[in-house]
């Protein structure tokens, strides 16, 4: 009788251990879904986010990545706030604007520390400085985009406001209206300008926003609730993103080739490489050289918040140390 009981107990223990082992393996095989709300369509400059099927950076961290397109940084934040995404790929201006409205958000990764925005005009328009924009029609990607936010920064440098110009929404490929004379100038990015020149834009004047305020172009933002309750998920996401960004910096040719099949604007591999090189350059800074990709320069970001308030773009006094966190960044 005792032997029977002993055998039964041993069998029970073995069965339980096997069952637990199977459960552990099952959990190890599971992946967590994470969705990024972008400011753009799937374009070449974000190739590192588009090649998951080819490279598996996020899968290697136990993540199933989805990208939700948008039309500007404000779109990205709205898509996140409505539950369509976990993380917003947005610009500081849209981040500040959302905070100004009372949203509880955290910035967790500096995607592009360099300001890549500009205002472009044909030489014949003789627009060489912010003051020359007065009374002009100016194109922007969308009213919720970083192009509009940075245009307003430029206008304020000359004592102008949005009412001193006519803003025209032209969409992402906004150089056609410029060439056709529908606008006098257009707010764009370095990569947008590159593609425009490749498509016959010709000689232009370019006002670089970084010469007036060199703040980050894009950052990853999450809700306060996500930051507090999904730290492991976010740590893995940021580690995977850093892996993908480091890969694109190291392998621009491979990235350019993959963009041909993954990016909606990636048909020309040579142009892809130039776009990718520009975006790689904007991904690094003194802060990232010191502490690794994604690191914020808090003084620069505070200056940006102060400037946005001073110019009347936001009303609240934003202390960036309260809304920016770097504790989720992977070690260099």
322 pLDDT above the threshold of 90: yes
11 pLDDT above the threshold of 50: no
Q: What is the pLDDT of residues 120-167, one digit of tens each?
A: 999 999 999 999 999 999 999 888 778 888 999 899 888 899 999 999
3-state secondary structure of 82: coil
Taking residue 114's Cβ as centre, other Cβ atoms within 10 Å add up to 18
The pair of structure tokens assigned to 142 is 């969308």
* CATH ID of 31-114+215-323, from 3.40.190.10, 1.10.300.10, 3.40.50.300, 3.30.300.180: 3.40.190.10
Picking from 192, 165, 181, the residue whose alpha carbon sits closest to that of residue 279 is: 192
Asked if 262 and 51 touch (Cβ cutoff 8 Å), the reply is yes
- Residue 247 CB-half CA count within 13 A: 22
Q: What is the pLDDT of residues 96-119, one digit of tens each?
A: 999 999 999 999 999 999 999 999
Asked if 256 and 72 touch (Cβ cutoff 8 Å), the reply is no
Quote the DSSP letter at residue 24: H
Picking from 260, 244, 275, the residue whose alpha carbon sits closest to that of residue 59 is: 244
Span 117-211 CATH architecture: 3-Layer(aba) Sandwich (3.40)
pLDDT of residue 299: 95
CA distance 144 to 74: 5
pLDDT of residue 8: 38
Q: What is the pLDDT of residues 215-260, one digit of tens each?
A: 999 999 999 999 999 999 999 999 999 999 999 999 999 999 999 9
CA 78 to each of CA 13, 84, 104, 175: distance values in angstroms, whole numbers, following the listed order = 52, 9, 13, 27
The pair of structure tokens assigned to 272 is 């892809």
CA distance 173 to 148: 15
Residues 6+ apart with CB under 8 A from 102: none
| pLDDT grade for 310, boundaries at 50, 70 and 90 | confident
- DSSP for 29-90 reads H--EEEEEE-SSSS-GGGHHHH-HHHH-TTGGGTEEEEEE--SSHHHHHHHHHTTS-SEEEE
Q: What is the pTM of this model?
A: 0.84
Mean pLDDT of 190-196: 89
């Amino acid at each position: 009788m005792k032997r029977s009981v002993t055998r039964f107990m041993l069998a029970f223990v073995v069965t339980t251990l096997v069952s637990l082992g199977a459960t552990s393996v099952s959990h190890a095989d599971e992946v967590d879904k994470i969705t990024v709300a972008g400011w753009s369509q799937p374009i070449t400059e974000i190739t590192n986010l588009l090649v998951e099927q080819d490279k598996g950076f996020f899968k290697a961290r136990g993540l199933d990545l989805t990208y939700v397109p948008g039309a500007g940084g404000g779109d990205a934040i709205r898509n996140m706030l409505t539950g369509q995404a976990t993380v917003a790929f947005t610009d500081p201006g849209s981040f500040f604007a959302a905070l100004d409205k009372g949203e509880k958000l955290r910035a967790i990764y500096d995607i592009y520390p360099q300001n890549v925005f500009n205002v472009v005009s044909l030489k014949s328009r003789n627009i060489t400085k912010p003051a020359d924009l007065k009374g002009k029609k100016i194109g922007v990607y969308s009213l919720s985009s970083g192009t509009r936010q940075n245009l307003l920064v430029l206008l304020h440098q000359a004592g102008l406001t949005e009412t001193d110009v006519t803003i025209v929404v032209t969409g992402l490929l906004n150089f056609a209206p410029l060439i056709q004379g529908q606008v006098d100038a257009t707010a764009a990015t370095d990569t947008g300008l590159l593609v425009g020149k490749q498509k016959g834009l010709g000689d232009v004047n370019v006002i670089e926003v970084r010469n007036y305020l060199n703040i980050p172009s894009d950052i990853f933002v999450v809700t306060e609730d996500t930051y507090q309750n999904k730290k492991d998920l976010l740590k893995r996401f940021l580690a995977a993103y850093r892996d993908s960004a480091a890969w694109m910096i190291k392998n621009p040719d491979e990235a350019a080739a993959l963009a041909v099949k993954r990016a909606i604007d990636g048909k020309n591999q040579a142009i892809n490489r130039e776009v990718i090189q520009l975006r790689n350059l904007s991904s690094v800074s003194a802060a990232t050289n010191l502490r690794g990709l994604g690191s914020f320069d808090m003084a620069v970001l505070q200056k940006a918040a102060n400037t946005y308030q001073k110019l009347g773009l936001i009303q609240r006094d934003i202390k960036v140390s309260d809304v920016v966190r770097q504790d989720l960044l992977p070690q260099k």
